[in-house]
Amino acid sequence: MAKKPEVIVEETFKEKISIEPLENVMGDRYATYAKYVIQDRAIPDVRDGLKPVQRRIVFSMYKSNNLFNKPTKKCAHTVGTVMGTYHPHGDSSIYEALARMSQDWKVRYPLIDFQGNNGSIDGDAPAAYRYTESRLSELSNEMVKNIDKNTVDMQLNFDDTELEPTVLPARFPNLLCNGTEGIAVALATEIPPHNLREVVEAIIYRINHKTATTEDLLNFVKGPDFPGGGIIYESEGLKNIYLTGRGRIEVSAKAEIVKTKDLQQVVITEIPYKTVKIQLVYEIDKNIHSKSVSGLLEVRDESDWKGIRIVIDCKKDAKADLLLKYLMKKTSLLSS
């Protein structure tokens, strides 16, 4: 009987186990993860004020010639291109970011010109992206202007097939004018929107006066300029957001008291930033029906395409100004 051939097995892999203190390993791994979340997902870049998904949307639309002076394209086209070429993280997050950049009650200066239902101040979601269309707004043209002239660094996309910008040229001061918010690992930011004219005046002053202080610039930028309006109360908290980076902004609804033959009305035409209108109306209605204070009759939402109009009917002999102050304390008519 022939002998079986001898099989020689060579060791090709040696397991290496390194022994290190847990605190060193956790610190190193956590720092790597935190850096990725902060830089590549959650926190905007100070230079263009955009998160990666927003930057990729704007750049992709620019590359697709989906510009302000061209016809709109289906949002499904934009979402698919961004997801397949630059941002493989799911269509819902891309479409949400696209729609948000067009919502003028959330964004002071929209970067996207939207056609179709892009949601509402009542918290309604946008229509499905197969039904809606969009293009870059005229202002977005300033965000990408001269990007083809080596004005910014480029990097490879996720599969090394295309180049994408690390930051947009951003001739428009997007971070200050549109504000931003983001929550990352052990880090968060929230910057309110500001008026473009005031910001530009402050920039010009800073260019001409190299030693200008923050307080000097506050002579030009008086405070935030929220897209939905409202009244901002001057306070130390407001000043501190510019001097220290931390502070509190109190914003109230804009209202007037109208007297009619049979009753008085509190008419609200502007509401605080980020307030969902339908929830505000519900809060007011809840206070009316709880009968915790007398004099309130009913509330109606008479808002239309012209703007916000919430009407609160009060009894003829009621002190409408005191009722308004009461509702400010009990509802989202006053927020911070």
Q: Known catalytic residue: 131?
A: yes
User: Which run of H or E residues covers position 21?
Assistant: none
Query: Coil, strand, or helix at residue 329?
Result: helix
User: Which run of H or E residues covers position 202?
Assistant: helix 196-208
- Annotated catalytic residue within 36, 109, 131, 205: 131
Residue position matching structure tokens 């009619």: 260
Q: Considering only CA atoms, which of 19, 126, 116 is closest in space to residue 73? A: 116
Cα end-to-end distance, the chain, whole Å:
92
Please enumerate in sequence order all residues whose Cβ is within 8 A of that of 306, keeping only pairs 6 or more positions apart, or say none.
Answer: none
35 vs 200: CA distance, rounded Å: 32
Longest CA pairwise span in the chain (Å)? 119
Token code pair at residue 293: 């204070």
Q: At what angle do helices 91-100 and 75-85 cross, to 10 degrees?
A: 120
Instruction: Say if CB 68 and CB 135 are below 8 A apart.
Output: yes
Residue position matching structure tokens 């800073």: 206
Query: ∠35-40-41 over CA atoms, to 5°?
Result: 105
- Cα-Cα-Cα-Cα dihedral sign, residues 282, 285, 290, 294: positive
41 vs 30: CA distance, rounded Å: 16
Beta carbons within 10 angstroms of residue 169's beta carbon: 18
201 vs 220: CA distance, rounded Å: 7
254 vs 247: CA distance, rounded Å: 22
Beta bridge partners of 304: 307
Q: Which residues are catalytic?
A: 131
